[in-house]
Amino acid sequence: MKLLSLRVLIPLVAVALLLVWWLRPHYSDEEKAYYAAVFCSVNKAGTGAPLSQMEQVIEGGNTDYALQKTHFSPSLAKAVIHRWAQLSEEEKQRARQNPAACAPLLTAAMQR
C-alpha cells in the first residue's frame, strides 16, 4: 500500500510543480528593459502613482492600426517598482541625477 501511494504521489507532485512553473509569468530581457525604461521616464516626473502612469505610457503607445498591440503587464510593472524600492539610496540618487543611467541600472538589478 505504501509503495502504491509513493508511485502515485511522486508523479502528482512533479506535475503540480511543473504546472506552477508553467503558469508563473516569464518575462524576456527585452520586456524587463522596456518596463525599466518606462519606469525611469515616469519616475523622473515624480508625480502620481508610477503603476498607473506606466500603464498609460505603455497602452497609450499603441496605435489604432497596429497589428501587434503592446498590452500592459501589471505584474511586470510591480516587479520593476519593487526592484526600484530595493535599490540603495545611493543607486537611486545616481539614477535620478543621470537619467541615461537609470534604465540600465534598473535592468541590471532585474537580472539579479
Rounded CA-CA distance 29/108 in Å is 10
**37 with 29: CB under 8 angstroms?**
no
CA distance 110 to 38: 14
Distances in Å between the Cα of 57 and the Cα atoms of 3, 20, 54, 85, 93 are 57, 31, 5, 21, 24
pLDDT given for residue 70 in this prediction? 85
Asked whether the predicted pLDDT for residue 3 surpasses 70, the reply is no
Q: Distance of alpha carbon 27 from its chain centroid, rounded?
A: 7
The model's pLDDT over 22-70, given as tens digits with 9 standing for 90+, comes to 888 788 899 999 999 999 999 875 666 889 999 999 998 888 887 888 8
- Which DSSP string do the residues of 33-90 spell out, in sequence order? HHHHHHHHHHHHH--S-HHHHHHHHHHHT--TT-SSPPPP-HHHHHHHHHHHHHS-HH
pTM confidence score = 0.76
Mean pLDDT along residues 88-92? 91
